[in-house]
Amino acid sequence: MAEQEASGLQVLLHTLQSSSDKESILTILKVLGDLLSVGTDRRIHYMISKGGSEALLQTLVDTARTAPPDYDILLPLFRLLAKVGLRDKKIGRKALELEALDVTLILARKNLSHGQNLLHCLWALRVFASSVSMGAMLGINGAMELLFKVITPYTRKRTQAIRAATEVLAALLKSKSNGRRAVNRGYVTSLLGLHQDWHSHDTANAYVQIRRGLLLCLRHIAALRSGREAFLAAQGMEILFSTTQNCLDDKSMEPVISVVLQILRQCYPTSPLPLVTASSAYAFPVPGCITTEPPHDLPEEDFEDDGDDEVDKDSDTEDGKVEDDDLETDVNKLSSKPGLDRPEEELMQYEELQSKLGDDLNSEKTQYANHHHIPAAASSKQHCYSKDQSSCGQEREYAVQTSLLCRVKTGRSTVHLGSKKNPGVNLYQNVQSNSLRRDSSESEIPDIQASPKADAWDVDAIFCPRMSASFSNSTRTREVVKVIDKLLQTHLKRVPFHDPYLYMAKARRTSSVVDFKMMAFPDVWGHCPPPTTQPMLERKCGVQRIRIFEDIRRLIQPSDVINKVVFSLDEPWPLQDNASNCLRFFSKFESGNLRKAIQVREFEYDLLVNADVNSTQHQQWFYFKVSGMQAAIPYHFNIINCEKPNSQFNYGMQPTLYSVKEALLGKPTWIRTGHEICYYKNHYRQSTAVAGGASGKCYYTLTFAVTFPHSEDVCYLAYHYPYTYTALMTHLDILEKSVNLKEVYFRQDVLCQTLGGNPCPLVTITAMPESNSDEHLEQFRHRPYQVITARVHPGESNASWVMKGTLEFLVSSDPVARLLRENFIFKIIPMLNPDGVINGNHRCSLSGEDLNRQWLSPSAHLQPTIYHAKGLLYHLSSIGRSPVVFCDFHGHSQKKNVFLYGCSIKETLWQAACTVGTSTILEEVNYRTLPKILDKLAPAFTMSSCSFLVEKSRASTARVVVWREMGVSRSYTMESSYCGCNQGPYQGLQFGTRELEEMGAMFCLGLLILELKSASCSHQLLARAATLLSAEEDALDQHLQRCSSSSGSVPSELEDEPACLEEIDYSTDNSSDQEGSLSELDRRIQECAFNKFEGEEEEEAPGQGGEAIP
């Protein structure tokens, strides 16, 4: 049957080419048209495969060369040819070989005054020009000159032909040779004039598609440097800006506005960042490395003319949707276990960390004094809380009050959810600066303007000095201490697990590259989670284009641009005049990152963040102080040197703000803030010299507006909730003093010293032995291990908040925590990159390296924390005590929710469509159990975002190395979004510190459920679990159903993000116009086949176009 159909089609096509009978030809064209007008495109592709395009083209040539050409045949033939040609990628080449290209061009010339015939010719030319090479050929043969005869100033006649002509011209101008020809012949000025004419006359927006076609022509010309120069010389920026700025909210103008924005972005002159060097403002002499002169940005001429968009090669986290060519398909690399990367005798140094366990329990006197390993933190009695304020046991009041099982995903959460209908709710609202406030204990808090006096609480100058030994005895320091004491006594609100005096004492021991002299107020004073969870910001349509138009206005109307540098790490200090009418900025404190601030207008500032130390990249994290503001006025901040091509700031995420005045009024809280937020590519480029000769990378702008709650306040803005190294060290000391010493074994060790000279803490948590008997001590020492690490990437402060929740839960009195302590030893490295955190890096250590890419062969000198963390894991593996679970906590900037990345050989090979060796590979699926448990337990967790693929680019990460080299099948990276959730109980809400800490506790609960589900779980543990958790029997029964431990279906994959309301990246090579116009062309051709041609067209004079084509 198929052969009969094929032979029938071939007969029709052969007859079409050979017949000279008009009726026969028209009948065949009608039959073919009917066949191709129904069904799917498969019929058209089948016809193409049988030579259908060639048959139609040959018929076109033969008919055109008869005298006179028969348009009764040519018009349906053109329609059918256009329909088929839209699906034939080689139609242009075929038309050239059969001379149909020249024939169609000649027919178009002969029918300039006959609209219907011309329109059909233009449709065919549009299809032929879909090939850039054929477009270039048409340009050589004078097609552009012909089209400019068709494209006239505004008229209501022949509009279909004019629209088709603009589309053909736009297709031709994709050819660079045609683009250069258009520039040389002055077509840029002509196109701008035509655009202005149509824009000014088409007040009803009836001919938007013609205007869009003209703009597409300009956009393709602007892809060339010479085209951009011609556009700028013809005042193109001013023309498009003036004709469009008042139409941004007109939805009927959307096709025009989107192309205008692309052109304006293309033609905005690229420039280097306004920095003296691309390198970090901070430098650290790395041992054994030769310091070279930092690369400098070069003038604009150095930039590549037409470089491709930068690919984010160094994404901050691991993305489950990897390219198949990045998947590791070498079975040997996936399954082999390489040897040690160091001499075996070196592992003996880690024996000490293990053998200490229980050694301090040998005498009655020191049985529970396990905190003696930690240096005393109190500096003097006056810097300690009084007994009525604090005690060693009081912190336990802030531990989890109810069992964690009461807060699982299927139960009730303790988090107060904010209103999703009111995303702009101000958590600082109803704050009166001239009234008395009451804190949670109902004690009066006087107005900070009155007590202390305004000049006495100058936080800019006096609150946060680190009081180093070099000036600790000065009169100025003693005055500072008095003021701090008065502030603390008058205004301090109790913050769980925080002590300002202890923090300040710890800060003096923290070593930074530039020896910070100041501390940030929020870090010293502390943070309490807000009472409600804040919803994601609803993105308003048009906010991005408004900001882009503001950028353009700054270029073409610079009269109101101040362009004044008000803060810079690269220039002598101070730059700011306290009396001037501008904000004051500062960032030289722990974890601070702001390199430069430029006042653009009275209430607008361009900000540049610092690159990582000894690096020229990784600009994302920011944390800085701002003061001198006025209340109730929106200030716009533009961070102009971000690197990532997209951000959660486009999808509801807000930066965080901390107000000093609010803290002194009893609200020491980091909150999400900002409106008119968007993230988009700007005109700044890295020079090719800095990029090593490659095309200079693009930069992106994060822009947001902040309305501050008070005038003359001191506020801090950050990418995410800050968590400093000093905060960690303070937290660990307070945790240690808060534990129940008869139940909890808590010990701090120093894993190693960092490059910057800071101790990297290693925490051990387990339960005290029941007694000092040999049997109980043996059980105590031989509990299985769980190893958890965090903060290898300094900018991922959310990982530290998750870790904080983990630590506080593990030492709490919660029955789940008690069970975990009794059955496991937790080895925790809460901050793998202290130096990066201290110095405000986003990704790297002081050596300028991403430490999570150094696990394959770390250096004890350059990556000491990774070297010794791996050494500890090696040691546990060598003695047969590999951890049950290894997990590295991270943050994710481009996805929502919390999820895990694990490792699987089979899933990786299946995803890569590689079947070699998969049948012989034995692999347990237990790596999926923990994420499935968390998916049911944790409100913020989702299984659908988890991935277990092993990528080549991740071969040197902790997750993959621990899995491959130590044989830990449950080796994970746990990613927490900077933004929030798009599923579950927290859907539509941004993460606060409470939710992140809750996730840390839920992770611990998951570890217990994992153990209870395991086949190796002892009856003793099950009995103990039943006893301790008897109050939550329903919840326990729900989560201990062994039969369903691995049978749950995996939810369908969620979209990473829905399509943004606006195009995020206005790239020059966007091909959406081609796809849209071709499908639209197909529709118009079909309409023309069934409808009478529009009445406005002028009829051809008798005999016109009657000559045969040679």
- Active-site positions read 975
Q: What distance in Å separates the CA atoms of residue 1025 and residue 427, rounded to the nearest whole number?
A: 41
For residue 408, give both structure tokens.
């699982």
For residue 830, give both structure tokens.
């809460």
- Residue type for position 85: G
- Residue type for position 388: D
Which residues have C-beta within 8 Å of that of residue 650, sequence separation ≥ 6?
Answer: 539, 678, 679, 1057, 1060, 1064
Q: What distance in Å separates the CA atoms of residue 12 and residue 1043, rounded to the nearest whole number?
A: 65
Q: What distance in Å separates the CA atoms of residue 711 and residue 627, rounded to the nearest whole number?
A: 9
Q: What distance in Å separates the CA atoms of residue 563 and residue 689, rounded to the nearest whole number?
A: 27
Distance of CA 46 to the CA centre of its chain: 44
Bond preceding residue 68 cis, omega within 30 of 0: yes
- Residue type for position 627: S
Question: Which stretches of 632-674 are assigned E, i.e. beta strand?
Answer: 634-642, 656-659, 671-672
Q: What distance in Å separates the CA atoms of residue 83 and residue 41, rounded to the nearest whole number?
A: 10
For residue 789, give both structure tokens.
């690490």
Q: What distance in Å separates the CA atoms of residue 158 and residue 175, rounded to the nearest whole number?
A: 27
- Residue type for position 709: P
Which residues have C-beta within 8 Å of that of residue 1093, sequence separation ≥ 6?
Answer: 115, 116, 119
- Residue type for position 1100: E
For residue 799, give both structure tokens.
């990982």
Question: SS in 3 state form for 602-614?
Answer: CCEEEEECCCCCC
Q: What distance in Å separates the CA atoms of residue 624 and residue 423, rounded to the nearest whole number?
A: 25
For residue 163, give both structure tokens.
């629209």
Q: What is the DSSP string of 733-802?
A: HHHHHHS-TTTEEEEEEEEEE-TTS-EEEEEEEEEPPSSSSHHHHHHHHTSPEEEEEE-SSTT-HHHHHH
Q: Which residues pair with 597 in a beta bridge?
A: 567, 607
Q: Please check whether residue 908 is in contact with residue 328, taking contact to mean a CB–CB distance below 8 angstroms.
A: yes
Q: What is the DSSP string of 493-505?
A: PP-TT--HHHHHH
Bond preceding residue 634 cis, omega within 30 of 0: no
DSSP reduced 3-state for 976: strand
Q: Please check whether residue 750 is in contact with residue 761, taking contact to mean a CB–CB distance below 8 angstroms.
A: yes
Burial of 811 (0-12, 13-18, 19+ CB in 10 A): buried
Q: How far is CA 114 from CA 79, 331, 380, 646, 1104, in A?
A: 17, 68, 98, 50, 8
Q: Please check whether residue 800 is in contact with residue 728, taking contact to mean a CB–CB distance below 8 angstroms.
A: yes
Residue 47, phi then psi, degrees to nearest 5: -65, -40
Q: Please check whether residue 569 is in contact with residue 595, taking contact to mean a CB–CB distance below 8 angstroms.
A: yes
For residue 910, give both structure tokens.
């299946």
- Residue type for position 129: A
For residue 251, give both structure tokens.
């939805």
Q: What distance in Å separates the CA atoms of residue 1109 and residue 104, rounded to the nearest whole number?
A: 10
- If one counts every other C-beta atom within 10 angstroms of the C-beta of residue 957, the result is 27
Q: Please check whether residue 103 is in contact with residue 141, taking contact to mean a CB–CB distance below 8 angstroms.
A: no
Q: What distance in Å separates the CA atoms of residue 542 and residue 627, rounded to the nearest whole number?
A: 30
